[in-house]
Structure 1
């Protein structure tokens, strides 16, 4: 991959809404060249999606419960973890799924409207998969930083310190 392509990827990863003219200026290329590079990266599935980081806790009636579930599974001969991972990521509640090293094999991130809904997902859908040996559920209590974006940065105190 060329330097310009990597530079473009870094820029749009930080800000997916950067305009084509601005992006072209930033990488010292023409808009046509940048447009062709973006199209190729999308076709090659290097760029998979453009997304925004949203603080849903500030949107009325849109809050949800996020849980990270550590899953221990028995890998299947010939396919390893891929088959069970595919079965799990097909559930609409699953927002992310990772193969992990350590005590657990898979890390599943899910969202639900309530803790009960998340619990039902674990007990009725996830735990019933034949190759799943055990699960450990962790509920997200507060989001401080996501995808490099800090949530709820406190206002800096601009008062002058006065000492006697």
Structure 2
């Protein structure tokens, strides 16, 4: 039963990390103090890692260059891809690192002030790591949906009707 409550609370917090304990308690049929205790446990167990906001930086006029870099790695004896992944995720520009299937081994998401800064990161920092065999960089040109949030609610068709 308690595991079920934890899952319900996690799903609600994932969609709205700012929901008050009192409102959350009503939604899961517990007291606010019980909800607070469960959330504290989830934080202590490192199940809840961070609360954050989804920001449309383009709309705020503070957009940065974002790239997804596929990385080919030579796995190391006894640690596989983990050692290289750890070296990569320690850079402050790096937002995420994931082990992936396919032609490449790691997917790395980074942010920089410009495309040139991202390119410099790839050529000077990422490519120089022992075990990195190759990269393929993909720049994000436009975001439509991030973390389950749609950036623009409605698409407006701006094409003009042409009749024969």
Shared fold (TM-score, shorter chain, > 0.5): yes
**TM-fit CA distance, 1:156:** 7.9
**TM-fit CA distance, 1:155:** 6.9
- The equivalent of 1:23 in structure 2 is 24
Alignment of 1:7 onto 2:8: yes
Taking structure 1 as reference, are residues 155 and 127 closer, same or farther at Cα in structure 2, changes over 3 Å only?
closer
Taking structure 1 as reference, are residues 156 and 32 closer, same or farther at Cα in structure 2, changes over 3 Å only?
farther
Matched length: 156
* Partner Cα distance (2:6, 2:72) in 1: 38
* Partner Cα distance (2:66, 2:49) in 1: 23
Alignment of 1:132 onto 2:136: no
- The equivalent of 1:34 in structure 2 is 35
SS in 1 for 2:80: coil
Runs of 4+ deviating beyond 6 Å: none
* Partner Cα distance (1:2, 1:28) in 2: 14
SS in 1 for 2:23: helix
1:1-164 equivalence runs, <5 A: 2-60=3-61, 62-154=62-154
Unmatched tracts of structure 1, length 5 or more: 158-164
**TM-fit CA distance, 1:130:** 1.6
Unmatched tracts of structure 2, length 5 or more: 158-164
> TM-score if structure 2 supplies the norm length?
0.92
* Partner Cα distance (2:29, 2:89) in 1: 40
* Partner Cα distance (1:23, 1:44) in 2: 20
- The equivalent of 2:160 in structure 1 is none
SS in 2 for 1:63: coil
Q: Deviations over 1:68-106 (max 9, x none)?
A: 000001000011011000000000000010000110000
SS in 2 for 1:2: helix
